[in-house]
Amino acid sequence: MSSSTVSSINYISSRIYVYVGLPIIIIGVLGGILNIVVFLSLRIFRQNSCGIYLITMSFINIIQLLAGFLYLIFVRGPLIDGIVINVGNCTIRLYLVQIGALISMSCICMALLDQYMATSKYKRLQDWSHRKIAYRLCILVSLFWIVFCIPHLIYYNAVVSSVTNVAVCVITNSIFQSYVNRFYTPVLLNTFPLLFIITFGLMVYSNMKQMSYRTVPLVRRQHEIQITSMILTQALISVVLISPFFILTTLTSNIQFTSDPVINAKIQLVSSITICLYYSYYMVPFYIYICISKRYRQQFLFVLYKIYFQRCYGTIVDINQVAPESQ
């Protein structure tokens, strides 16, 4: 009886990765590409410090969906059987995924910090909201996380399980395992970004309320309202999407559960759901911007139709146009 229950639960878990995970990847990659097209096509984003953070985050989100989630679907889903986990696709992939997660979350935090400075009433803080500073911060933060995550290359290895006789990717150092369970996952990836987003989100909201009483050019005010609403909404939704995964990971890492296979199968089922929610974080930015900002919808349609569609259509007309016969 228990074996059939376990099989049924495992079947549902594997199907969740396919029927929920694959649409997340397709929709997320499409949304990320459209974000990049809009941000790079419009000078108001391309030459804006907050826009630089959003462009960087869009590139990283696409990589996360393809390098992280797509591989996970192949390993845990029923699409391809017999994928061999080795040192290459274990350590290197996890290393890249950890770097991507940290850079993506850092971009949201830096965008919030940038908006706080851009909407501040103090000129000295406004001067720090500059695209050159944003370029440098993106490079420095990326390099920092690349170096910071080097232990993942060292202590993650493919080990053959004595139970299933299948290679799994695990941490082979007890000290690093304790660090991951007690600080890296619960604090660095979850608690700290959550507190940062809440703190600076409230400060940015306060600045925006005060801005209505200050003499600010109308175009700048409209742009700051647009960017702020986009960033704040994305940050809050991101917290909702990523928190369940990190909470479950922290609990399963620090609490000794029973060896009952049915309970373990149920935990894996919940894990598959939280993983899909987690990777939805990389999917939703474009659709948040479209839903929350009327101005962004207009900018998207302008880029799509006025710039690219008419340019391509005009090129086709020019090529196919027949010159009038000379009299």
What is the pLDDT at residue 18?
A: 87
Predicted confidence (pLDDT) per residue in 178-206, tens digit: 999 889 988 898 889 889 988 998 898 88
For each of the domains in the chain, give its residue range(s) and CATH number, in order of start.
2-297 (1.20.1070.10)
What is the pLDDT at residue 185?
A: 87
Give the chain's radius of gyration (CA, Å).
23
C-beta of residue 204 within 8 angstroms of C-beta of residue 112: yes
What is the pLDDT at residue 322?
A: 39
Predicted confidence (pLDDT) per residue in 292-310, tens digit: 988 899 999 888 887 767 6
Q: What is the mean pLDDT of residues 208-224?
A: 66
Percent of the chain with pLDDT over 70: 81
**Residues in Cβ contact with 43 at an 8 Å cutoff, skipping those fewer than 6 apart:** none
C-beta of residue 149 within 8 angstroms of C-beta of residue 170: no
Predicted confidence (pLDDT) per residue in 78-108, tens digit: 655 545 556 566 788 889 999 999 999 999 9
Cα–Cα distance, 65 to 318 (Å, whole number): 39
**Length of the chain, please?**
327
φ, ψ of residue 160 to 5 degrees: the values are -75, 125
Beta bridge partners of 170: 157
Least confidently predicted of 25-34, 45-54, 214-223: 214-223
Tokens of 270: 């919940």
φ, ψ of residue 288 to 5 degrees: the values are -65, -45
**What distance lies between CA 211 and its chain's CA centroid?**
30
What is the pLDDT at residue 324?
A: 41
Cα–Cα distance, 118 to 57 (Å, whole number): 19
With a cut of 60, say whether residue 163 has pLDDT above it: no
pTM: 0.86
SS (H, E, C) the chain: CHHHHHHHHHHHHHHHHHHHHHHHHHHHHHHHHHHHHHHHHCHHHHCCHHHHHHHHHHHHHHHHHHHHHHHHHHHHCCCCCCCCCCHHHHHHHHHHHHHHHHHHHHHHHHHHHHHHHHCCCCHHHHCCCCHHHHHHHHHHHHHHHHHHCHHHHHHEEEEECCCCCCEEEEECCHHHHHHHHHHHHHHHHHHHHHHHHHHHHHHHHHHHHHHCCCCCCHHHHHHHHHHHHHHHHHHHHHHHHHHHHHHHHHHHHHCCCCCCHHHHHHHHHHHHHHHHHHHHHHHCHHHHHHHHCHHHHHHHHHHHHHHHHHHHHHHHHHHHCCCCCCC
Place 316 in a pLDDT band, splitting at 50, 70 and 90: very low
Predicted confidence (pLDDT) per residue in 33-70, tens digit: 999 999 998 888 888 898 999 999 999 999 999 988 88
What is the pLDDT at residue 274?
A: 93
With a cut of 60, say whether residue 226 has pLDDT above it: yes
Place 77 in a pLDDT band, splitting at 50, 70 and 90: low
What is the pLDDT at residue 102?
A: 95
Tokens of 269: 């089922």
With a cut of 60, say whether residue 162 has pLDDT above it: no
